A and B are shown apart, each in its own frame.
Chain A
Amino acid sequence: MFRMGISDHEAVRAVLDGDKEAYGALVVRHSHSLFRVAFRITGNEADADDVVQEAFLRGYRKLGTFELRANFSTWIYRIAVRCALDKLKASRVDESPRVAEETDPELDQVQVPDSAASPERLLLSGEIGAMQEAAMRGLSPTERTAFVLRHVENCSSEEIAAALGIAPNAAKQTVFRAVHKLRRRLSALRVSI
């Protein structure tokens, strides 16, 4: 059984001293919070479960680099955000592009079909969540992650920057760009409905 009474730092020390089971206490303690942030970023329950497992696996391998001055929950949270971002990028790659109906050579653009639900389907389903998801699909994985961290998780630009491994100013611009895109997308969806 897990030694739930020990602190995060004590558990980390025990793991590094060879007590693998002590990591179980950390997993049990932080799984729920990681699942929540993973779900908010990926928007998918199964993906969020994968992200939680991957985050704890990565965390275990990197535990030797963890500084005991730091907060374990913040540290593993950042790893989970990175894992969720990787998951989003991987699922983007998996979605194979199909041939566009028309292209604009002058603008050097290739039109690809919209993978979001059609306005008719949105109208039929009448679900706000579906519209949100359709709007979110227009964002890049980094924009989506930055937006969720800012708007839902209430992270500062510095925290987002640290989690995404980019400069704070770049993190701020990414959030701005995400909001801008979402508004345009929502506006288009509302008009078409």
Chain B
Amino acid sequence: MKHLTEEELIAQAIGERQGEGADAVEEHLAACEECADSYLVLLSDLAAMKPVTPPDRDEWYGERVWQSIAPSLAAYRARNRGWRRGWRRGWLTGGVWKGLGYAAACALLVVGAFFAGRQWEHSKQRQPTARVEQKVPQTKQPIVVVVLDDHLDRSERFLVELKHADLDSSAMASPIRDEARSLLAANKVCREKAAQKSDPELTTALDHLDRLLAEAANEPGGLNAASIAKLQDEMNSDGLLFEVRVLRARIASRKVAGNGPVKGGTI
């Protein structure tokens, strides 16, 4: 019979072996008296190395530690001001000439933009006014309608993804956050338009959506299983996915009733 090595016995004693490996060692120890004796001596040695209990520290210990280190700590500056500080530092350490160079570049940009704007104004004035008045209502409305329809379509897909997000997988957290950030800006435009058109149903749904998107996009430290679960709860309690689907259906029905190849809804 091949005896167990000291390393194998140590691994067993400190719980390094798991599952079948541990069972095999146990079986061997049950069958081999010599190894069992060695194992008992090892356990006895380890038991002899059990530590001395640390001396007690009273309930004020933590405060004493804090009092001893607090004077040597400088307060952090608020995080959102960090970039300004760095920018200012860079400006100052870069030297006067570098600063003047930036100033000249900015001035050149402003002057260029001014002349470009004047040229554009002149070209617009040359167009007949009546034609512009005819074109604006025809071209402007379809663009906004398409944005709303697309936005609701994307929002619905986002909500479905969020609803079925795997909480055990961290791979989904980043795409969800990125999509939420992307949708947030579009949602703002749609909300403003809905408010102007006095469409309370649409405004309410977009408000709900805005809150959810803002939370998903700005969760400190990024999304994790807990925050995704919270978002799912909020989404379900608001009935948001249902609301978005109803709005899409409403837009689709108006599209069918309409008289042109308009893709979207009412805005």
Contact = CB atoms under 8 A, between A and B. Distances in A.
Nearest to B70: A24
A31 B58 CA distance: 11
A74 interface: no
B125 interface: no
A18 interface: yes
A24 B6 CA distance: 47
Given A35-B57, A35-B61, A176-B10, A57 B70 contact: no
Main secondary structure of the interface of A (DSSP, over half): helix
Given A15-B76, A68-B220, A151-B49, A183 B42 contact: yes
B12 to A, nearest CB: 12
B54 A128 contact: no
A25 B117 CA distance: 58
B11 A31 contact: no
A48 interface: yes
B49 A132 contact: yes
A69 B221 contact: yes
A56 B54 contact: no
Interface residues of B, number: 38
Interface in A16-44: 16-20, 23-24, 27-32, 35-36, 39-40, 43
A27 B7 contact: no
B4 to A, nearest CB: 14
Contacts of B26: none
Interface stretch (A59-67, A83-91, A116-124): A59-67
B122 interface: no
Given A31-B62, A45-B55, A175-B14, A20 B73 contact: yes
A36 B73 contact: no
Contact of B76 (A30, A63, A151): A63
A27 B66 contact: yes
B72 A57 contact: yes
Interface string A63-98: 110011100000000000000000000000000000
Interface string B30-73: 00000000000010011011111011010001110110111011
A64 B167 CA distance: 27
A172 B16 contact: yes
Please give me the 6 A-B residue pairs with the lowest Cβ-Cβ distance, nearest first: A28-B62, A68-B221, A31-B62, A39-B54, A20-B75, A27-B66
Interface of B: 6-7, 10-11, 13-14, 16, 42, 45-46, 48-52, 54-55, 57, 61-63, 65-66, 68-70, 72-79, 220-222, 224
